Chains A and B, each alone.
Chain A
Amino acid sequence: MRTRKIKVDMLARVEGEGSLSVKITGDKKIDVELGIFEPPRFFEAFMVGRRHDEAPDITARICGICPIAYQISSSTAMEDALGIEVSGQLRELRRLIYCGEWIESHALHIHLLHAPDFLGYEDAIQMAGDHPHEVKRGLFIKKIGNHLMSVVGGREIHPINIKIGGFYSVPSKAKLEALLPDLEKALDEAVDAALWTARLKMPVFEPETEFVSLVHPDEYPLFGGRLASSEGLDIPLSGFLDEFMEVHEKHSHALHGRRKNGGCYQVGPIARLNLNREKLHPLSAKLADDLLPEKKVVNPFKSIIVRAVETVYALEEAIRIIKAYEPPAEPSVETKVKKGYGVGCSEAPRGICWHGYEIDDRGDIVSARIVPPTSQNQPRIEQDLREMIPGLLHMEDHDLRWRCEQAIRNYDPCISCATHFVRLNIERPS
């Protein structure tokens, strides 16, 4: 029987180190392995015994792209364990810094990582020669997101100002208001970017899947609320491990997230939009209606448009928060150590990042569990490839490889995040 192999030894334009292997036997059997060979990083193991208040800064190091996701998920999990709630302007400031992360991450992925796939360039450097305006726009929007993170978080990569209960210090109103002109300009640019992404030629592909994201009664989700799915799931954050599991596949250093029934699911921008479209602000809502009129977005290639809509939302939200900002009297809520278990979940740019911690009566961490978005999307990515490839067998290997890589980047995978947790089992001769 004829066999065809497509191999990508080192995936480019994804964060971290991974590979792709596709084996096509005849015209029906498709074996797909998204190999993640970046070394395991054991964060959950070395968190044990550390103080609970170290969790935000330690887990932030899992990722240089989405440290806020880890800081907020771990902080809110610890607050859940300690029985405290962060509300009002402190909560708004958390949303503000999270907007900065979405803006910088989405702008980079749209313009420099994913757009080259649609336009036929090997990378952003090649694309920049023909499309300097678009690349400069991406870099400008990204810079504004980075700057927002610096102002609220102290620095843009691994910010140092987030703590359990709130912040170490809060910015003045004047300092935040000084950001408004750049944010307004970035908003105009982001709207242009959204219109531009909608003009890109979209491959047609509509797989069936379950979309999972946070939902909140009053806001487009960044953190907190409940977990919901397009198949009717609606659970508190504490119910995550009852509905979802992680399994080990031998070809990957990352665990694979699955529903308890074994099915795969999708997290990230498309899931968020499908479950929260009515919570967008006016400008992003209009863009969503105009550019994504379908009731439910199912084509994963349209993620680039959804990211652009979310970038507009994040800028609208940042501007709203700053205009209404009044510095809180205290930078954080007082915390008192007690034994407990708590969970937290936030929407990293790539999807839900769930944390669960048990702490003892001294405040030391007894157990830690972190489920990042890329490990949850990994089975979905492989399934997309299995479903997509049979319709593309007429393509030459180069074009088929290109489409497969483009399909992987629909999920903006962050492999460094996904490999932080693999358990190490050593068998030794007795």
Chain B
Amino acid sequence: MRGEDSVGHLAVQRVGLSPSWAADPVDLLHQFGGLDAVVIVDAAIGPCLGQVDVWTLPQAKEAILPEKGISHLLGLREALLLAEAMDLLPPFLRLVTVGIGETGLGTEVDARILKAAEEAARTAERLLKEAAEEVALD
């Protein structure tokens, strides 16, 4: 695990789930099928250490997902844009990002990141609850 890059896994653990290894972001496309709501928690370089933000996909494309030509490893940006192009996105999608610092192999995770993972987990739960209520209202 690469230091604070693991914050997504930490958040998933705090929701009470076991994170599965999905090294390739395009694997997300195979998991979107039939889902009404998806919250993605990911590390972000740029925001302040431990800062938790919530984005819709249009907001994320503008603000947080790195502009990068497609390489052999398709990143989260390419995965989400491919899903959008092929109409595979779930009706409710939010990206929760946590600002991180150290990403070296074996580096310790800062206490602020551990706290932020907790906040990201609670945020994800809240967002999913809101999404469920929206679906119920519909």
- A residues sitting closer than 8 Å to B (CB atoms) are 10, 12-16, 64-65, 105, 108-109, 112-113, 123-126, 128-129, 132, 135-136, 139-140, 142-143, 146, 150, 155-157, 414
The size of the chain B interface, using a CB distance under 8 A, is 19
Contact A132 B69 (CB under 8 A): no
* 11 residue pairs A–B, Cβ–Cβ below 8 Å: A10-B69, A105-B72, A109-B72, A125-B85, A126-B85, A128-B85, A132-B86, A139-B82, A140-B30, A143-B26, A143-B30
Contact B87 A125 (CB under 8 A): no
Specify which chain A residues have a CB less than 8 angstroms from the CB of B23 in the assembled complex.
Answer: 146, 155-157
Contact B82 A124 (CB under 8 A): yes
Specify which chain B residues have a CB less than 8 angstroms from the CB of A12 in the assembled complex.
Answer: 69-70
Contact B85 A129 (CB under 8 A): yes
Q: What 1/0 mask marks residues of chain B from 22 to 49 whose CB sits below 8 Å from any chain A CB?
A: 0110110110000000000000000000
Contact A146 B24 (CB under 8 A): yes
Specify which chain B residues have a CB less than 8 angstroms from the CB of A156 in the assembled complex.
Answer: 23-24
Contact A13 B85 (CB under 8 A): no
Contact B82 A128 (CB under 8 A): yes
Contact B86 A135 (CB under 8 A): yes
Closest 6 CB pairs of A and B: A12-B69, A128-B85, A15-B72, A132-B86, A65-B72, A129-B85
Q: How far is the CA of A112 from the CA of B24 in the complex (A)?
A: 15
Specify which chain B residues have a CB less than 8 angstroms from the CB of A13 in the assembled complex.
Answer: 69-71
Specify which chain B residues have a CB less than 8 angstroms from the CB of A157 in the assembled complex.
Answer: 23-24, 73
Q: Which residue of B lies closest to A14 (CB)?
A: B71
Q: Does B93 lie at the interface of the complex (its beta carbon under 8 Å from any beta carbon of A)?
A: no
Q: Does B15 lie at the interface of the complex (its beta carbon under 8 Å from any beta carbon of A)?
A: no
Closest Cβ of chain A to B27, distance in Å, is 7
- B residues sitting closer than 8 Å to A (CB atoms) are 21, 23-24, 26-27, 29-30, 69-74, 78, 81-82, 85-87
Q: How far is the CA of A128 from the CA of B29 in the complex (A)?
A: 13
Specify which chain B residues have a CB less than 8 angstroms from the CB of A14 in the assembled complex.
Answer: 71
Specify which chain B residues have a CB less than 8 angstroms from the CB of A108 in the assembled complex.
Answer: 72, 74
Q: How far is the CA of A14 from the CA of B70 in the complex (A)?
A: 8
Apart from A125-B85, A139-B29, A139-B82, 18 more pairs, CB < 8 Å:
A12-B69, A13-B69, A13-B71, A15-B71, A112-B70, A113-B70, A123-B70, A125-B70, A125-B78, A125-B81, A126-B85, A128-B82, A128-B86, A136-B29, A142-B26, A146-B23, A150-B21, A157-B73
Contacts A139-B30, A143-B30, A157-B23: A64 and B82 contacting too (C-beta < 8 A)?
no
Q: How far is the CA of A142 from the CA of B81 in the complex (A)?
A: 18
Specify which chain A residues have a CB less than 8 angstroms from the CB of B85 in the assembled complex.
Answer: 125-126, 128-129, 132, 135
Q: How far is the CA of A300 from the CA of B32 in the complex (A)?
A: 37
Most A CB within 10 A of own CB, among B21, B69, B87 = B69
Q: How far is the CA of A108 from the CA of B26 in the complex (A)?
A: 11
Specify which chain A residues have a CB less than 8 angstroms from the CB of B74 in the assembled complex.
Answer: 108, 112
Q: How far is the CA of A112 from the CA of B82 in the complex (A)?
A: 10
Closest Cβ of chain A to B133, distance in Å, is 31
Q: Which residue of A lies closest to B24 (CB)?
A: A146
- Selected contact of B72 from candidates A113, A129, A135, CB within 8 Å: A113
Contact B26 A139 (CB under 8 A): yes
Specify which chain B residues have a CB less than 8 angstroms from the CB of A113 in the assembled complex.
Answer: 70, 72
Specify which chain A residues have a CB less than 8 angstroms from the CB of B70 in the assembled complex.
Answer: 12-13, 112-113, 123-125
Closest Cβ of chain B to A229, distance in Å, is 27
Contact A414 B81 (CB under 8 A): no
Contact B72 A414 (CB under 8 A): yes
Closest Cβ of chain A to B24, distance in Å, is 6
Specify which chain B residues have a CB less than 8 angstroms from the CB of A123 in the assembled complex.
Answer: 69-70
Contact A135 B82 (CB under 8 A): yes
Q: Which residue of A lies closest to B27 (CB)?
A: A143
Specify which chain A residues have a CB less than 8 angstroms from the CB of B69 in the assembled complex.
Answer: 10, 12-13, 123
Closest Cβ of chain A to B28, distance in Å, is 10
Specify which chain B residues have a CB less than 8 angstroms from the CB of A126 in the assembled complex.
Answer: 85
Specify which chain B residues have a CB less than 8 angstroms from the CB of A142 in the assembled complex.
Answer: 26
Most B CB within 10 A of own CB, among A13, A124, A125, A126 = A125
Q: How far is the CA of A109 from the CA of B72 in the complex (A)?
A: 8
Specify which chain A residues have a CB less than 8 angstroms from the CB of B86 in the assembled complex.
Answer: 128-129, 132, 135-136
Closest Cβ of chain B to A261, distance in Å, is 33
Q: How far is the CA of A136 from the CA of B87 in the complex (A)?
A: 11
Q: How far is the CA of A142 from the CA of B23 in the complex (A)?
A: 13
- Selected contact of B71 from candidates A16, A125, A150, CB within 8 Å: A16
Specify which chain B residues have a CB less than 8 angstroms from the CB of A140 in the assembled complex.
Answer: 30
Closest Cβ of chain B to A8, distance in Å, is 11
Q: How far is the CA of A155 from the CA of B22 in the complex (A)?
A: 9
Specify which chain B residues have a CB less than 8 angstroms from the CB of A136 in the assembled complex.
Answer: 29, 86
Specify which chain B residues have a CB less than 8 angstroms from the CB of A128 in the assembled complex.
Answer: 82, 85-86
Q: How far is the CA of A125 from the CA of B29 in the complex (A)?
A: 13
Q: How far is the CA of A142 from the CA of B26 in the complex (A)?
A: 10
Most A CB within 10 A of own CB, among B29, B72, B82, B85 = B72
Closest Cβ of chain B to A38, distance in Å, is 11
Specify which chain B residues have a CB less than 8 angstroms from the CB of A129 in the assembled complex.
Answer: 85-86
Q: How far is the CA of A157 from the CA of B26 in the complex (A)?
A: 14
Q: Which residue of A lies closest to B68 (CB)?
A: A12
Q: How far is the CA of A140 from the CA of B70 in the complex (A)?
A: 18
